[in-house]
């Protein structure tokens, strides 16, 4: 009986994990949605290879930044370096809504495939989010791999 209960708990845990993974969604710009420090952000890379970080509301719509702070670090082959971020209200995409967000003041290094660390700070301690920057389109969801919402 204990084995059956244990097996049931394992299956329930796996199904729960699959449900959580299946609920991922892309941001309004097609970028990576990041939960950090009680807030939701979107990391998006534009055609000029500049990073944009948006604060999102519960419906994942971009909203103006408050007093949040962010830093971006990249670790290509030549070593880790900080990418300057500045507040801007320019739309990230043509015809997009103008909302105050962070944008890198320089293009991110090429080639892709290196680790990106986004550190955001709202009201509490800074929260670091790390991911590998791969821009190649995913075969499943057609988003860039850094923003992929598939379960692979």
Q: Express as a percent the part of the chain with pLDDT over 70.
A: 79
3-state SS class at 43: strand
Maximum mean pLDDT: which of 64-68, 77-81, 87-91, 101-105: 101-105
| Listed residue (113, 116, 104, 112) closest to 74, CA to CA | 116
By 3-state DSSP, what share of the chain in percent is helix, strand and coil, each rounded to 5? 15, 35, 50
pLDDT, tens only, 39-77 = 899 999 998 999 999 999 989 988 888 888 889 999 998
| Listed residue (52, 48, 23) closest to 149, CA to CA | 23
Maximum mean pLDDT: which of 14-18, 62-66, 78-82, 143-147: 143-147
Alpha-carbon gap, residue 42 to 103, rounded angstroms: 12
Q: Please report, for the domain that includes residue 141, its CATH number.
A: 2.60.40
Considering the domain boundaries, does residue 6 fall inside one? no
102 within 8 A of 52, measured Cβ to Cβ: yes
Q: Which domain, by its residues, includes 76? A: 26-147
Considering the domain boundaries, does residue 140 fall inside one? yes
Count the domains in the chain: 1
Minimum mean pLDDT range among 6-10, 25-29, 50-54, 109-113: 6-10
3-state SS class at 21: helix
Considering the domain boundaries, does residue 100 fall inside one? yes
Considering the domain boundaries, does residue 109 fall inside one? yes
Its sign, for the CA torsion 85, 35, 27, 79, is positive
β-strands 51-56, 101-104 pairing: antiparallel
The pTM score is 0.78
Considering the domain boundaries, does residue 13 fall inside one? no
Considering the domain boundaries, does residue 10 fall inside one? no
Q: Express as a percent the part of the chain with pLDDT over 90.
A: 47
Mean pLDDT across the chain, nearest whole number?
80
């Amino acid at each position: 009986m204990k084995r059956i209960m244990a097996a049931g708990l394992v299956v329930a845990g796996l199904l729960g994990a699959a449900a959580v993974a299946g609920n991922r969604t892309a941001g309004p710009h097609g970028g990576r949605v990041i939960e950090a420090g009680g807030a939701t952000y979107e990391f998006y890379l534009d055609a000029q290879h500049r990073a944009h970080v948006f604060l999102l509301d519960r419906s994942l719509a971009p909203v103006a930044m408050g007093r949040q702070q962010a830093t971006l670090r990249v670790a290509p082959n030549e070593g880790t370096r900080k990418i300057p971020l500045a507040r801007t209200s320019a739309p990230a995409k043509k015809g997009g809504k103008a909302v105050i967000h962070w944008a890198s003041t320089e293009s991110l290094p090429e080639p892709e495939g290196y680790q990106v660390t986004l550190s955001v700070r709202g009201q509490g301690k800074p929260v670091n989010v790390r991911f590998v920057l791969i821009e190649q389109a995913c075969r499943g969801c057609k988003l860039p791999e850094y923003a992929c919402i598939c379960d692979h």
